[in-house]
Amino acid sequence: MAIEFSERISRIPVYPAAEGYAERAPKVRLASNESPWPPLPAVVEAINRALPNLNRYPDPTNSQLKQRLSERYGVPVARIAIGNGSCDLLLAAGDALLEPGAELVYAWPSFSVYPHLPAASGARAVTVPLDALERHDLQAMLREINVATRLVIVCNPNNPTSTALSLAEIADFVDEVPHHVCVILDEAYCEFNLLEDPDASIGLLDRHPNLVLLRTFSKVYGLCGLRVGFALCGSEEMPRVLDQVRQPFFCNLAAQAAAVEALRHQDAVTERVTRTIAERISVDERLRALGLQPAESQANFCWVPFGGEDPERAAEREAEVMRGLQERGVLVRAGSALGKAGALRVTYGTTDENAIFLAALEEVL
């Protein structure tokens, strides 16, 4: 007799993990939108200082980290939630908001964790295609909201397509969403967005108790190996509920210590963003010189569709290019694994890594 699992197990998609983790030495890893630079030495020191205390449980209230985030963002401690990565907060929000009969709305293609929420809860997912410029179509998303809707997710800038909407568009959208619907604005890449001051969206929280800004230490802070994210919320109820549905010690001791220290080095964050944007400009220019048309990136990665009229031909081209890059030791993500075949998603790395990627791509093309 085989073990009998719950019915939802057959629905929950398996997260499309990037390949190559088992490989010894891919030359260049540009598949997971990680920072190419290691954590700052001061952050590594803070982690080391925390390690002798691993016989103790971490602070379940995350009080120091919440305090620092509150000072940094001007949001009261009671409206901040911490997570074991921001994915933890996404899943918790799904748990807290969704159930059979409920609906959630998100764009597609967007972050590959979102489909987990309807599958796990039995809620109905309404996915709204991106517009011709690979951006969220907020008007179309608004039209899908009804009395059954509990959650709308907007990923800005959007993963995997790298595009962003202006704050004015987001603000108008949130104004139109009914108060019973939670809006999660997933801002994992907001620091790389040149359209806005990354902190501008925080002003929306005071007007919208149903809004949640989801942020992470995984990308610009280079701490994805430790797993720590946070949510800035429009209400005190939201962090309380998110804590209610999770295990008590979701954010580990080293992660809390690292995040607290990382927040002290905002100048380094700015400097890394500047370096990434310089790479973004030069890589996109080279891609265009190769006859490709990357989407307008406001993130630390680009989205490169293999245009043309024929989707089947574009998918074939994606597979050929993926294979060619892999043979040359370059790991990127295939669009087909991220919701849209016929494209590549490529993280901007260091100048050297990008040069290796571009040389390999040129050979393959």
Q: What angle do CA 170, 171, 176 make, to 5 degrees?
A: 95
Smallest separation, CB 155 to ligand PLP (Å) = 5
Asked if 50 is part of the footprint of ligand PLP (rule: CB under 6 A), the reply reads no
Asked if 134 is part of the footprint of ligand PLP (rule: CB under 6 A), the reply reads no
Asked if 35 is part of the footprint of ligand PLP (rule: CB under 6 A), the reply reads no
What span, in angstroms and rounded, lies between the C-alpha atoms of 177 and 179?
6
Asked if 149 is part of the footprint of ligand PLP (rule: CB under 6 A), the reply reads no
Q: For strand 333-334 and strand 229-233, is the pairing parallel, antiparallel, or unpaired? A: unpaired
Which residues lie below 8 Å from residue 252, measured CB to CB, with a gap of 6+? 58, 84, 226, 227
Asked if 218 is part of the footprint of ligand PLP (rule: CB under 6 A), the reply reads yes
Q: DSSP readout, 185-198?
A: EE-TTGGG-TTS-T
Helix 266-289 and helix 351-364, axial crossing angle in degrees, nearest 10: 20
Q: Are 319 and 334 in contact (CB under 8 A)?
A: yes
Q: For residues 33 and 121, which CB has a smaller minimum distance to ligand PLP in the complex? A: 33
Smallest separation, CB 157 to ligand PLP (Å) = 9
What span, in angstroms and rounded, lies between the C-alpha atoms of 332 and 326?
8
Asked if 224 is part of the footprint of ligand PLP (rule: CB under 6 A), the reply reads yes
- Which tokens in the block code for residue 347? 């993280």
Instruction: Give the count of beta carbons closer than 10 Å to the beta carbon of residue 113.
Output: 18
Q: For residues 130 and 358, which CB has a smaller minimum distance to ligand PLP in the complex? A: 130
What span, in angstroms and rounded, lies between the C-alpha atoms of 300 and 220?
9
Question: Which residues make beta-bridge pairs with 293?
Answer: none
Q: Considering only CA atoms, give the Rg of the chain.
A: 20
Number of residues this chain uses to bind ligand PLP (CB under 6 A): 14
Q: Are 311 and 336 in contact (CB under 8 A)?
A: no
Helix 41-50 and helix 253-262, axial crossing angle in degrees, nearest 10: 150
69-128 positions binding ligand PLP, by CB under 6 A: 85-87, 111
Q: Sign (positive/negative) of CA torsion 265, 281, 195, 133?
A: negative
15-34 positions binding ligand PLP, by CB under 6 A: 33
Q: For residues 87 and 253, which CB has a smaller minimum distance to ligand PLP in the complex? A: 87
Smallest separation, CB 224 to ligand PLP (Å) = 5
Q: For residues 121 and 218, which CB has a smaller minimum distance to ligand PLP in the complex? A: 218
Q: For residues 145 and 226, which CB has a smaller minimum distance to ligand PLP in the complex? A: 226
Smallest separation, CB 312 to ligand PLP (Å) = 28
161-200 positions binding ligand PLP, by CB under 6 A: 186, 188
Smallest separation, CB 248 to ligand PLP (Å) = 19
Smallest separation, CB 188 to ligand PLP (Å) = 4
Question: Which residues make beta-bridge pairs with 128?
Answer: 107
Q: For residues 34 and 286, which CB has a smaller minimum distance to ligand PLP in the complex? A: 34
Smallest separation, CB 95 to ligand PLP (Å) = 15
Asked if 130 is part of the footprint of ligand PLP (rule: CB under 6 A), the reply reads no
Smallest separation, CB 255 to ligand PLP (Å) = 11
- Interface residue list for ligand PLP (CB under 6 A): 33, 85-87, 111, 155, 159, 186, 188, 216, 218-219, 224, 229
